[in-house]
């Protein structure tokens, strides 16, 4: 049985995967989520994922959405023997020392910093509305808006710490189109097989069936390559 460890992106929580988990389980896989909410930085988030990997009991497929692309790669670098495959879903990724702000366009940094400046102490980024993630269905937007939470600013400014072990783990980058940011380039730079999916950024909410199929296919593709 394949275990998928699903890690949500900024402003979201584990509930982001609520529509994907039962689909993976129906396909015979095991699915677990990691909670990154709370007052933590990037390195603390990576440590939380590493601890979850320690408790998994087997090598897992580690999936990171958006900001969590940075998190799962640092966690995998810490526990390379616990990860069989990495999947980035519209995920930010870069080399050692890269931060989300360092990878993002200047316009993105300016907007997010301005949002943080509106918070009481400047340490938190208020959540953008559901439409910012491509969620426009009224019911889905209402559901998501009730679950979005502020994001610590330091998660976007802290640089990743990578020793290089993560570079030996195979990976897949699933990029939603039309692209909002160069997630395809991030995946290619990491050496991952890069795929596209016609869906908005919060694909796990809007297109859970299609995303689940691509997650399962990523594992099958890796196994097929290992037999060659």
DSSP string, 191-217: T-EEEEEES-S-HHHH-HHHHHHHHHH
CATH code of 3-96+159-226, in short, is 3.40.50.1820
Neighbours of 92 (CB within 10 A): 28
Residue 171's DSSP bridge partners are 86
pLDDT at 120: 84
How far, in Å, are 50, 119, 131, 166, 177 from residue 181 at the CA level? 27, 25, 16, 23, 10
Q: What pLDDT was estimated at residue 35?
A: 98
Q: Is there a contact between 156 and 100 (Cβ–Cβ < 8 Å)?
A: yes
pTM above 0.85, yes or no: yes
Quote the pLDDT of residue 226. 62
- pLDDT given at position 58: 87
Average pLDDT, 10 consecutive residues per value, the chain (228 residues): 96 98 97 97 98 94 98 98 98 98 97 94 96 97 98 98 97 96 97 97 98 93 65
Helix (H, G, I), strand (E, B) or coil at 57: coil
Nearest to 72 by CA among 199, 211, 186, 212: 186
Cα 214 to Cα 61, 178, 207, 218, distances in angstroms: 13, 17, 11, 6
CA dihedral 5, 10, 15, 21 (to 10 degrees): -30
8 A C-beta contact, residue 220 and residue 170: no
Q: What is the dihedral of CA 38, 42, 47, 50, to 10 degrees?
A: 110
The domain ranges of the chain are: 3-96+159-226
Look at residue 175 in the predicted model and tell me its pLDDT: 98
Rounded CA separation 67/93 (Å): 8
């Amino acid at each position: 049985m394949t275990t998928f460890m699903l890690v949500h992106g900024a402003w979201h929580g584990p509930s982001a995967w609520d529509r994907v988990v039962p689909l993976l389980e129906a396909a015979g896989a095991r699915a677990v989520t990691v909670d990154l909410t709370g007052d933590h930085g990037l390195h603390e988030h990576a440590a939380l994922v590493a601890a979850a990997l320690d408790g998994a009991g087997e090598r897992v497929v580690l999936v990171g959405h958006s900001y969590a692309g940075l998190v799962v790669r640092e966690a995998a670098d810490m526990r390379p023997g616990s990860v069989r495959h990495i999947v980035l879903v519209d995920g930010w990724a870069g080399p050692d020392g890269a931060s989300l702000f360092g990878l993002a366009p200047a316009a993105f940094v300016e907007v997010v910093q301005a949002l943080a400046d509106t918070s009481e102490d400047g340490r938190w980024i208020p959540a953008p509305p559901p439409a910012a993630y491509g969620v426009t269905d009224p019911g889905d937007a209402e559901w998501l808006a009730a679950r979005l939470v502020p994001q610590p600013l330091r998660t976007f400014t802290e640089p990743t710490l990578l020793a290089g072990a993560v570079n030996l783990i195979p990976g897949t980058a699933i990029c939603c189109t039309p692209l909002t940011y160069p997630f395809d380039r991030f995946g290619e730079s990491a050496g991952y097989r890069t795929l596209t999916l016609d869906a908005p950024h919060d694909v796990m909410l809007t297109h859970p069936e299609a995303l689940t199929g691509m997650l399962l296919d990523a594992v099958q593709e890796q196994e097929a390559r290992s037999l060659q």
